Structure 1
Amino acid sequence: MVKLVETTDEILLADTARGFLDRAAPIAHLRGLRDAGQVGDDALWGEMVAMGWAGVLVPEAKGGSDMGHAAAGILAREMGRTLATSPFLSTAVIAATALRQGMNSRSGDRLNQIASGQLRYAIALDETSKFAPTMAEMQARREGNGFRLSGTKRFVVDGAQADRLLVLARTDDGLTVFDLPADRAGITRHVTPAIDSRDVARIDLADVAATGDDVLGKVGDAMAVLAPALQAGQAALAAELSGLTSGAFGRTVGYLKERKQFGVPIGAFQTLQHRAAHLWCETEITAAAVLNAGRLLDTTPDQAELAVSLAKARATATAQLAVQEGVQMHGGIGMTDAFDMGFFMKRARVAAEWLGDYGYHAAIVARHRGF
């Protein structure tokens, strides 16, 4: 039976992460990056690397800490509380998991480089406005002993600053994952910052050369490598949304206690109390779903799909509720850029679409339930 209570070590990890992020990456830090036109902070990521976060899913033999998916979720959750921007999900979670699935001497070296902060990855999957990896149409045509890749990938999170790209393309044998340097000839990156000030890029590949050494896993068997990596990313993104929800909820409750009307705090009004209580209940249920997803990925990953999709769907819906209630309960100030709730709303909206929206994951839950 999965225990949905954090262990002592996990509580310590959360406390350490929260203290660091409150100091190094508060909301004011994100506001400063946005105002300066920056989509990332190399110094902040360097500190995270020094704390071992980049190696959370990297084997100890490759320089990582291998703490597991539940631990990765705890770190992602704490980042979500302050909306810290970093390549953690793309690099330390998704790419690290994919490289472990397609383990060979090259991927082993790259795992070591991820843990040491020498490599950043981005995952180039989406080609339309919706997440549908198995429908990828980017072509990788055979040329001698290698391939030539042509097409466009959209909504590539962390794509502008990545050193390497995991590119999903269609070969004659089926979908294949290519591990390519981001500066290879024929690759052009167009920075398109998302509304939440996160690094997002459109990537064009024009007749890009690839060899068998660039294939991660086996030709035509992309999902053997990609499916576990995507589930890891979805679970961690759900955790980030859970943290975002807690951050927004905390600010809202604080405002209800401070703002007065008719000489009393507005938190004394029963209608607002009911709405806050409902949001708290949803937050707690979602947190349990997120922890369950991480636990199953650590113990029985082949049985984790339902738990991961349930966590992502619930986290998306709960975050949306939290930011909507936050704006409404703050009244007019909640709609202004001077107030931080808008940052939470924007991040929630972007995270809702990345790696599958509510409908995508609700369909997976329904399928597992026999509908």
Structure 2
Amino acid sequence: MNFTLTDEQNLLRASLGQFLQHRYGFAERTAASRGETGYRAEIWSALANELGVLGMTIPEANGGLGGGAVEQMILMEEAGRALLLEPVSETLFQAGWLLEQAGGALAEQLLPQIAGGALKLAVALGEPDMRYDLADISTRAVRAGTGWRLDGVKAMVMAAPWADRLIVPARTSGQAGDADGLSLFVVDPAAAGVKLHPYPTIDGRRAADIELAGVTLPVEAQVGPVGGALALLEEVRDRAIAAQAAEAAGLLDKLLADTVEYTKQRQQFGQPISSFQVLQHRMVDMYMQVEMVRSAAVLAALKLDGDPAERAKAASAAKVTVANACRFIGQNAVQLHGGMGMTDELPIGHYFKRATLIESEHGTADWHLARHAALSAV
């Protein structure tokens, strides 16, 4: 099978890589992560208006460029290499994709705003009393007059403090654990009854727990099939995993490159430690892990638009591969840097923290291993 990128895809990779290299320095990124907003608004605007990447996978009819899974993979790999703070995956490949699939007047209104950089979104999946089975969502939506009323709590919603709109799955019928009964709602985080509890995450980004207490919504805030959103939620998680696998490929490649360069400079016994054979073997093992992640990311991306069972297996396989590699490469990169690897002065510590969060986001390796086994047994 030929995995060669087209000329347009190579140009996308080169343009985005050069932009981030020259406009997204480590010092500026660190300052932004510790600032009040936690991201750089000028970078978000530039991604939309100078590079056009925020419309890359949005249909042309909605103001986008109509790209697909390969373009998603390219964007996220470069985002990982630059340790991008801005919520590209949450806005474009998760919430934006859900809106596109849901369709309707509200989606038609919001998708062009995403492409133009005027809108940031987040998907509020997690809840305090659930693990990784999305059928366990218990947030409740009931009819109230001509609209809806939402009640519930969402936990650790990544990028929620930045979001202009939240995509909130809620149960319109049935009980937690039922496959049927889940619906999608577009919620303004500034609406009455919505309370965000924001906090920084270990990787310098932002998340929030969200209370929904009697939130009233117009009827048009419900998007997609009423009671039939579980399949969409499971697919969007697979798409988030595929995007994160590509991000991990860029991030871990950068971790490896910085580690190799450091071992060429650090002297011990009068010679660089890169000349020690045991450390050379260690770095070869790290390189092999990077290549395994890159291969898993390619497979996950190419399976996104195919058979649902094959998509799910590829996503879970990618998640297991990424989780193992993040731990192995991250720990060895820090160890080979010595005490410097644990400081905030070098990029290495920041990349390690992002790798640590990626390891468990969207489900643990053990859970996805069991999921893959169950899917393979069918």
Q: Counterparts of 2:2 and 2:304 in 1: how far apart (Å)?
A: 13
Partner secondary structure for residue 338 of structure 1: coil
- Provide closer, same or farther for how the CA distance between residues 227 and 212 of structure 1 changes in structure 2, counting only shifts above 3 A: farther
Which residues in structure 2 correspond to 1:292-311 (within 5 Å)?
292-298=299-305, 303-311=310-318
1:274 CA drift (Å):
0.7
Task: Report the counterpart of residue 314 of structure 1 in structure 2.
Answer: 321
Partner secondary structure for residue 161 of structure 2: coil
Which residues in structure 2 correspond to 1:247-262 (within 5 Å)?
247-262=254-269
1:25 aligns with 2:24: yes
Paired letter, 2:322:
A
Task: Report the counterpart of residue 98 of structure 1 in structure 2.
Answer: 98
1:11 CA drift (Å):
2.7
Task: Report the counterpart of residue 53 of structure 1 in structure 2.
Answer: 53
Task: Report the counterpart of residue 34 of structure 1 in structure 2.
Answer: 33
Q: Counterparts of 1:70 and 1:39 in 2: how far apart (Å)?
A: 29
Deviations 1:62-109 (A, max 9, x none): 110121112111111111112111120111111121112111222122
1:210 CA drift (Å):
2.4
Task: Report the counterpart of residue 154 of structure 2 in structure 1.
Answer: 153
Q: Counterparts of 2:91 and 2:35 in 1: how far apart (Å)?
A: 24
1:220 CA drift (Å):
0.9
Task: Report the counterpart of residue 338 of structure 1 in structure 2.
Answer: 345
Q: Counterparts of 2:238 and 2:219 in 1: how far apart (Å)?
A: 26
1:302 CA drift (Å):
6.5
- Provide closer, same or farther for how the CA distance between residues 353 and 160 of structure 1 changes in structure 2, counting only shifts above 3 A: same
2:73–2:243 contact (8 Å) kept in structure 1: yes
Unaligned regions of 5+ residues in structure 2, if any? 175-180
Task: Report the counterpart of residue 108 of structure 1 in structure 2.
Answer: 108
Q: Counterparts of 2:309 and 2:105 in 1: how far apart (Å)?
A: 25
Q: Counterparts of 1:304 and 1:179 in 2: how far apart (Å)?
A: 26
Q: TM-score, normalised by structure 1?
A: 0.94
Partner secondary structure for residue 192 of structure 2: coil
Partner secondary structure for residue 297 of structure 1: coil
Deviations 1:276-303 (A, max 9, x none): 1111111112101101211222455663
2:97–2:236 contact (8 Å) kept in structure 1: yes
1:57–1:96 contact (8 Å) kept in structure 2: no
Partner secondary structure for residue 204 of structure 2: coil
Partner secondary structure for residue 225 of structure 2: coil
Partner secondary structure for residue 333 of structure 1: helix
Task: Report the counterpart of residue 80 of structure 1 in structure 2.
Answer: 80
The equivalent position to 1:267 in structure 2, one of 250, 274, 284, is 274
- Provide closer, same or farther for how the CA distance between residues 203 and 366 of structure 1 changes in structure 2, counting only shifts above 3 A: same
Task: Report the counterpart of residue 172 of structure 1 in structure 2.
Answer: 173
- Provide closer, same or farther for how the CA distance between residues 6 and 275 of structure 1 changes in structure 2, counting only shifts above 3 A: farther
Between Structure 1 and Structure 2, how many residues are aligned?
Answer: 370
- Provide closer, same or farther for how the CA distance between residues 52 and 209 of structure 1 changes in structure 2, counting only shifts above 3 A: same
Q: Counterparts of 1:37 and 1:360 in 2: how far apart (Å)?
A: 36
Q: Counterparts of 2:119 and 2:82 in 1: how far apart (Å)?
A: 24
2:79–2:250 contact (8 Å) kept in structure 1: yes
Q: Counterparts of 2:70 and 2:308 in 1: how far apart (Å)?
A: 12
Deviations 1:11-44 (A, max 9, x none): 3322221111111223222221234354111111
1:244–1:319 contact (8 Å) kept in structure 2: no
- Sequence identity (%): 34
Task: Report the counterpart of residue 3 of structure 1 in structure 2.
Answer: 2
Q: Counterparts of 1:360 and 1:8 in 2: how far apart (Å)?
A: 39
Q: Counterparts of 2:218 and 2:116 in 1: how far apart (Å)?
A: 26
Unaligned regions of 5+ residues in structure 1, if any? none
1:53–1:92 contact (8 Å) kept in structure 2: no
* Structure with higher RCO (Cα < 8 A, 6+ apart): 1
Paired letter, 2:215:
V
Q: Counterparts of 1:168 and 1:300 in 2: how far apart (Å)?
A: 24
Paired letter, 1:114:
I
Partner secondary structure for residue 304 of structure 1: helix
2:134–2:234 contact (8 Å) kept in structure 1: no
Task: Report the counterpart of residue 177 of structure 2 in structure 1.
Answer: none
